[in-house]
Structure 1
Amino acid sequence: MEARFLGIPELVEAPHVAVVVDVMRAFTVAALAFAQGAEKIVLAESPEEALALKARSPDWVALKDGPPVPGFDTVNSPGMLRSVDLRGRTVVQKTTAGTVGALAVKEASLVLCASFLVAEATARLLRTRARDGVTFVVTGEDGRADEDLACAEYIALRADGAETDPAEFLRRAAESRAAYELAHGVRQGVHPDDIALCLELDRCPFAMVAALEGSLMVLRPHPVPPPAGEASP
C-alpha cells in the first residue's frame, strides 16, 4: 500500500482514501465517546456552528478545545469525557486540528479518523479499502506533530501486514511536544489522565468513518472484526 503523510496545509486536492490522525486529543476523545455509547459525532467547522447545532438540538453534547466555555457541555479531554453520559447521544466536536483535518478531506471517497485507540481496526479496514494507496493527514503542527506522525506510520505499517512493535511509536507520542504541553499546563481543559488515555493502543474494536450527511460531516464507528482465529484486542 502506497502511503503519503501530509499536513493540512499540504492538501491541495481531495485524496481517494484519507486517514486523519489526531492523537492528542480529538480522535482519542471521539473513540472514547463511541466506547461510551455515543451514536454519532458531528464535526463542526467553527465554535459558532457547534453552538448553533446545540441550540437546535439541546440534547446533543457539544465540546471544544481549551477551557470550559458557556454553551459547551464539556471540553476536548478524554479524561473529562468519562463523566459525561453519552449513551445514544450525538456529540458535536470542534477542535483546532482534528476536525479541521477531517473537513479538509470531506470530498474523499473514504475518510477515516484515527488515534492509537483505533489503530489496528483502522489498519484492517485499510487492507480491504485502500488498495491504491492512502493519504495520512498529520493534523498537528502543520504536519510536524510527532505523536500524529508516529500513529500514522504505525497504522501504515500494520495496514501492510507488517509485524510491528508499537513501543517506539508510543514512546515518540509520549515524548512529543503535545504531550509536554498537556503535562505542563500549556494547554487548558486538561485532565491528569489525558496523556495515558491517548496512548492506549487498540482499546476500541472499531474504525471511525466520517462522511457527509446532508451538509454535515458526521463521524460514526465502523466495527472491524479481527481475522478468523485472532482474538479482539
Structure 2
Amino acid sequence: MQVSIYQGAFPPSAADAAIVIDVIRAFTVAHYAFLQGAERIYLAETVEQAFHMQKENKDYLLAGEVKGEAIEGFDLENSPYQITRRDLHGKTLIQKTTNGVRAALNSLASGHVFVTGFTNARKTVHYIQENLASDLETVNIIASHPTGDDDLACAEYMKSLFEQDASITSGQVRDRIIRSEAAEKFLDASNITFRCEDISYCINELDTNFVMKINKARKIPMIERVYL
C-alpha cells in the first residue's frame, strides 16, 4: 500500500482511499457532534447552499465558519467546546468550513473517503487496516490546511501508523498542534473571537467505536458513522 501526504484543499489525484484531516477544527467538531448524538452531517459547498438546505429542512442545524469566524445565522460555531454542550441526539447537521469541508468535497473521486481530526486518527487507520487494506493500493492523506502544521503533524502520524515505523508519537502530534500557527489565536487571551478551550478538545485522542466516512451516493455528500 502506497501512502502519500498532500497539503491543501485541492489534492492532485484520486486514490483508492482518501483521508481528509482538519484538526482545528472541522472534523474534530464532526467527531464530537456524533458523540453528542448527531445522526449525519451534510457537507455544504457554500454558505448559500447550507441556508437553502435548512430552508427545505427546518430541523437541520447549520455548523461552520468562514476564515475561522462564526457565520451569522448559523446555529453552531465551528467549536468542539460548544458542540459538547449541545444535545444533538437525532439531529442532522450541515457543515460548511474553509479548509476541511472543501478538501473533503474535492476528494470525492477517491474510492473511499474518510474524515478525521487527531481525535479519531488512530481509529481511522486501524479501521482501514482491518477492513480495507487488502483492496487498497493507494491511500492519500490530505492535511487540509495548506500551511498548518497541526494537520500535517496528524497526517505524518497516520502515515507512520500505516507503515508501522513509529516515526512520530501521539505526544509529538499534540505538541505540534499546540505550537501550530493555527492554534495561536485560540491561545491568545486577548483574542475573544476564539475559545482557548477548543484546542484542548482538538488534542485529545479518543477511544470511540466508529470512524467517519463520506457517503458519496447521496446527492449532497454526507459524513456517516461506520462502526468498528
For normalisation by structure 2, the TM-score amounts to: 0.89
Q: Partner of 1:153 in structure 2? A: 156
Distance 1:186 1:9 in 2: 30
Change (3 A) 1:64 1:197: same
Change (3 A) 1:187 1:55: farther
Q: Is the 8 A contact 1:106 1:211 kept in 2?
A: no
Distance 2:156 2:206 in 1: 15
SS of equivalent to 2:110: coil
Q: Is the 8 A contact 1:31 1:204 kept in 2?
A: no
Q: Partner of 1:178 in structure 2? A: 182
Distance 1:52 1:151 in 2: 34
1:1-233 → structure 2 map (5 Å cutoff): 1-8=1-8, 11-65=11-65, 66-127=68-129, 128-130=131-133, 131-140=136-145, 142=146, 144-162=147-165, 165-184=169-188, 190-224=194-228
SS of equivalent to 2:74: coil
Deviation at 1:162, TM superposition (A): 4.5
Deviation at 1:191, TM superposition (A): 2.5
Q: Residue type of the partner of 2:38? A: A
Q: Is the 8 A contact 1:16 1:109 kept in 2?
A: yes
1:94-137 deviation per Cα after TM superposition (whole angstroms, max 9, x unaligned): 00000000000112110000111111210112213244131011
Q: Residue type of the partner of 2:93? A: V
Deviation at 1:80, TM superposition (A): 1.2
1:188-227 deviation per Cα after TM superposition (whole angstroms, max 9, x unaligned): 7532310000000134332110122332111011122xxx
Q: Residue type of the partner of 2:74? A: F
Q: How many residues align?
A: 222
Change (3 A) 1:171 1:12: same
Q: Residue type of the partner of 1:220? A: E
Q: Is the 8 A contact 1:31 1:118 kept in 2?
A: yes
Deviation at 1:68, TM superposition (A): 4.2
- Using the TM superposition, name which of 187-196 and 12-21 deviates more: 187-196
Unaligned runs of 5+ in 2: none
Deviation at 1:148, TM superposition (A): 0.5
Q: Is the 8 A contact 1:68 1:75 kept in 2?
A: yes
Distance 1:183 1:15 in 2: 36
Distance 2:205 2:15 in 1: 27
Q: Is the 8 A contact 1:60 1:91 kept in 2?
A: yes
Change (3 A) 1:151 1:190: same
Tell me the percent identity. 30
Distance 1:63 1:219 in 2: 14
